[in-house]
Amino acid sequence: MRAITIEPHFTRHAEGSVLISFGDTRVLVTASVEERLPPWLKGKGEGWVTAEYGMLPRATHTRGQREAAKGKQSGRTQEIQRLIGRSLRAVTDLKKLGERQITLDCDVIQADGGTRTAAISGAFVALRIAVNKLMAQGLIKEDPITAQVAAVSCGIHQGTPVLDLDYIEDSGADADANFVLLSNGNIAEAQATAEGATYDEEGLLRLLRLARIGCNQIFEAQLKAIG
């Protein structure tokens, strides 16, 4: 596992914000609380947690085209932001959140593999800070957050299971997995994709166990950042 750092309160306007690093991967996450809801949720007495993901054009080794200039978000971007939103909702009681929306904006400042897992792990801290603020203001009575959530990538690289792949390892991996785990031991999401070679049940379990080790380290770093 590469060095994890989580710098809370990185920006000042957002209700919650962190700069999270997994090695050279750095993601800025802000949590924005808004007293409005998507149309299909109005009047149901519950809130919503959602996420958006972006990568600065030169976060990567070579410059990529700016999605705003291209006029659309790639399939990859949409897939990632849907995953982040689902992961955070897995630890949020939307009824207790009340009729408000929290949006997690995850913007990759620098990329070296694992941007989606860093985003999820950082987003939890930003969400926790924002919810703490709402509770301190008396706007929320009961804590809607039910557990910590963190994510890590792992893969099979030249036959060996590897935790938290950087860009070089990721590009050459035979299988590439992302696990979103809860501090209570449960799984929120498991995704394991064969790239070069397919894998078997035993391989899947070894990746999951590796992910648990990684997530436990992230849970600690999250607690330290929240203070």
Residue given tokens 């991967």 in the structure block: 25
Q: For residues 20 and 182, which CB has a smaller minimum distance to a second copy in the complex?
A: 182
76 labelled binding-site residue: yes
- Say whether 2 counts as a known binding-site residue: no
- Minimum distance of a second copy from residue 138's CB (angstroms): 21
The site for a second copy (CB under 8 A) is made up of: 11-14, 17, 24, 26, 28, 30, 32, 34, 52, 54, 56-63, 66-79, 81-82, 86, 90, 103, 105, 107, 109-111, 182, 184-194, 198-201, 203-205, 208
CB nearer to a second copy: give 34 or 220: 34
Q: Are 161 and 210 in contact (CB under 8 A)?
A: yes
Alpha-carbon distance values, 134 to 11, 44, 128, 139, 140 (Å): 18, 20, 10, 5, 6
CA nearest to 179, candidates 188, 170, 171: 188
Q: Which is nearer to a second copy, 17 or 222 (CB)?
A: 17
Whichever of 62 and 158 has its CB closer to a second copy, that residue is 62
CB 12 to a second copy: min, Å: 7
Give the integer Cα–Cα distance in Å for 189 and 147: 14
Q: Cβ 58 to a second copy, closest distance in Å?
A: 4
> Taking the complex as a whole, how short is the minimal distance between the CB of residue 3 and a second copy, in angstroms?
15
198 assigned to a ligand binding site: no
| Residue 217 one-letter amino acid | Q
On the CB side of 91, CA atoms within 13 Å amount to 28
Q: Measured from the CB atom, is 12 or 141 closer to a second copy?
A: 12
Count of CB atoms situated within 10 Å of the CB of 158: 9
- Shortest separation between residue 64's beta carbon and a second copy, angstroms: 10
CA atoms within 13 A on the CB side of 87: 35
On whether 58 is known to bind a ligand per the annotation, the reply is no
Give CA–CA dist 58/14, Å, rounded.
Answer: 24
221 in helix, strand or coil? helix
What is the smallest separation between the CB atom of 226 and a second copy, expressed in angstroms?
A: 19
Indicate the residue among 205 and 224 with the shorter CB distance to a second copy. 205
Rg over CA atoms, the chain: 17
Report the distance separating Cα 219 and Cα 215, nearest Å: 6
Indicate the annotated binding residues for phosphate.
Answer: 76, 114-116
Indicate the annotated binding residues.
Answer: 76, 114-116
